[in-house]
Structure 1
Amino acid sequence: MSGRLSLNYTYIAAHLKEYIDGDKSLDVFEPEDIEKILNESKLTPNDFEILLRKLSSNFQSINIYKCARNTQIPTNSLQDAILTLKTVRKYMKLTLLDGIIDNMNQIENEMSNYTKTIQKLQSDLNLIQNQKQNCEKEIQSLKSQLKEKEREISESKEENNIRKEILSKIAGLQNSDVFEIIYNFLDNLSEKGNQKILAKACEVGFWNVKLKSMWENNVLIEASHRGNLGLVKSLIECGCDKESRSNQGGTPLIWASGHHHPDIVKYLISVGAKLENPDNYGNTPLIWASGYGHLDIVKYLISVGANKDAKGDLGNTSLIWASKCNHLEVVKYLVSIGVNKDSMDKDGKTALSFAKDQIKEYLISMVAK
């Protein structure tokens, strides 16, 4: 190599890819130069094969052997190792590698078969796992269905027990005390919060049993009369008719208004009881409350829209009834909110006509006729 320029083998080795992939020729290098370049190069098995193929067009196998015998070729897989051995065998004419290559090819084939077997087993395992998941879902679904059926059976048994208890209670009733027995039975269920049995009892008509009196109140009306708010609520929640009537047409709201149970009045209004629903004589809840002197209920009914000048069938207004029954504070309140103080009943009488003592003096002072 005397007389030639000194080559930078490290640089050429770093750029050897340009000779492998491009059009640059390796003919410009001597065998000893190529050997030094390859000693410093980092080639993949593929690049090594391409390089030796190009060298084979100008160099004999012995020279290729000398150039490439110390080249370091990284092999990251069995395929890389086989390719490297095949390249050496082909371009260096090393037939002694044939057996090794054959064995390695066999190993590769076996590994490929093992890989396929593993993949097949993995696929089968995935299928089994999916089937297992589906089975678990199906089991869970069946458990849910079973639980639902058990709940339905339990409810059915409970309903049967309720029916038996109601039938047993009916069988034990005596005509003489039937109303009070039923009233107390329903009241007891309400106090205990046993709404299911109460609902069944209402369903068979217990709530509509009549009190033996001139009014013939049912249980809901009588509960309103007695001020039993808990029982009233329970019966309404079970679907009992809040507009039901006594023998003389009194509704639960009328009875609560007339007998001073403001909590029941407010509850009945809150659940939609009719404010102007009169009894058989045309008297509204406001007329009842006024006639009995319940000022707080009168004020409440007015506040929720009651007709202050409503008349009964005989022409009696709230003011006439309050005056007739001597309830001064109710009279004063009704006059203060602008009721017609000169309204007449069918006999032509006004509130002043029935007034006595202080009420008479008050109405005269208000220029009532």
Structure 2
Amino acid sequence: MPTYKNSGRTLKTLFAAITISAMTTGAAMSENGESRLIEAAERGDVRTIGSLLSGGVKIDARNARGETALLAATHANNIEAAKRLIEAGADVNARDNIQDSPYLYAGARGQLEILRLTLAHGADLKSTNRYGGTALIPASERGHVETVKTLIEAGVDVDHVNNLGWTALLEAIILGDGGARHVQIVRLLVEAGAATGIPDKDGVTALQHARSRGFTEIAAILETAKRQ
């Protein structure tokens, strides 16, 4: 007759193996879904994004670079994909491995539509990038006039100083080209109450930088502000 001496132990081992296999399979399926979500966001594939979210894929899952699907969509300026993710609850302040968030990146790159979406859904106006700067500082440097206006109106600190010792005003002059867009940005910052006398780490003010670079229109704006 057959013996069942070890049958209990055998069944326990079998059940344990089945459980581990199911857990491993589930984890793999979850990771695959998360990867697909991020890839769909990069492509701007709104239909796939909706399908994956309906299937329970974690909306703020990250890839090896620390990017969420929303940040991937923002990097590609896929507005509809970003909108779909934000309205589904994606974190607009989730940072990647180099401290970019959807809000900070959209602001720095002048992606106005996505920026406005992040501002309407809890963007942290005090958050800073890897250089210690607010979204307003790189936006000012890169000449994104409407973005600068939007960030000022949202309430970003116009006098925040980054790790280089620069405010938005200083960066617009030091790294800007002195052209029409940067003239407008300097005017916007001054009108918003930016302190024109804050110097850089070498003690050089915005006005001194403007004069040394031959930015006469910008210098005139700063000279007028200084007299007031």
Quick one: distance in 2 between partners of 1:321 and 1:201? Answer: 44
> Are 1:230 and 2:80 matched, yes or no?
yes
**Alignment-derived partner of residue 282 in structure 1:** 132
Structure possessing the higher radius of gyration over alpha carbons: 1
* Root mean square deviation of aligned Cα: 3.3
CA drift of 1:337 comes to: 2.6
Partner SS, residue 253 of structure 1: helix
Q: Conserved in 1, the CA contact under 8 Å of 2:40 and 2:48?
A: no
In structure 1, which of residues 307, 311, 327 is the aligned counterpart of residue 161 of structure 2? 311
Identity among equivalent pairs (%): 27
Change (3 A) 1:209 1:232: same
In structure 2, which of residues 193, 201, 208 is the aligned counterpart of residue 338 of structure 1? 193
**Alignment-derived partner of residue 362 in structure 1:** 220
Quick one: distance in 2 between partners of 1:240 and 1:194? Answer: 12
Name the structure, 1 or 2, with higher relative contact order (CA <8 Å, separation 6+): 2
Change (3 A) 1:222 1:357: farther
Q: Conserved in 2, the CA contact under 8 Å of 1:202 and 1:238?
A: no
Change (3 A) 1:208 1:270: same
**Alignment-derived partner of residue 54 in structure 1:** none
Deviations 1:61-115 (A, max 9, x none): xxxxxxxxxxxxxxxxxxxxxxxxxxxxxxxxxxxxxxxxxxxxxxxxxxxxxxx
Q: Conserved in 1, the CA contact under 8 Å of 2:169 and 2:186?
A: yes
Change (3 A) 1:336 1:204: closer
Deviations 1:265-321 (A, max 9, x none): 111010111112111322001112112111111111111212111111332111001
Which region of structure 1 is more displaced relative to structure 2, 238-247 or 276-285? Answer: 238-247
In structure 1, which of residues 209, 212, 225 is the aligned counterpart of residue 63 of structure 2? 209
**Alignment-derived partner of residue 192 in structure 1:** 47
Partner SS, residue 244 of structure 1: coil
Quick one: distance in 1 between partners of 2:170 and 2:95? Answer: 25
Unpaired runs of 5+ in structure 1? 1-162, 172-178
Alignment of 1:1-369 (within 5 A): 167=29, 170=32, 183-186=38-41, 190-192=45-47, 195-200=50-55, 202-203=57-58, 207-211=61-65, 217-326=67-176, 327-355=182-210, 356-359=213-216, 361-362=219-220, 365-366=223-224
Number of residue pairs matched by the alignment: 194
Quick one: distance in 2 between partners of 1:204 and 1:222? Answer: 12
Change (3 A) 1:325 1:204: closer
CA drift of 1:184 comes to: 3.7
Quick one: distance in 2 between partners of 1:325 and 1:287? Answer: 11
Deviations 1:116-145 (A, max 9, x none): xxxxxxxxxxxxxxxxxxxxxxxxxxxxxx
Q: Conserved in 1, the CA contact under 8 Å of 2:132 and 2:163?
A: yes
Q: TM-score, normalised by structure 2?
A: 0.70
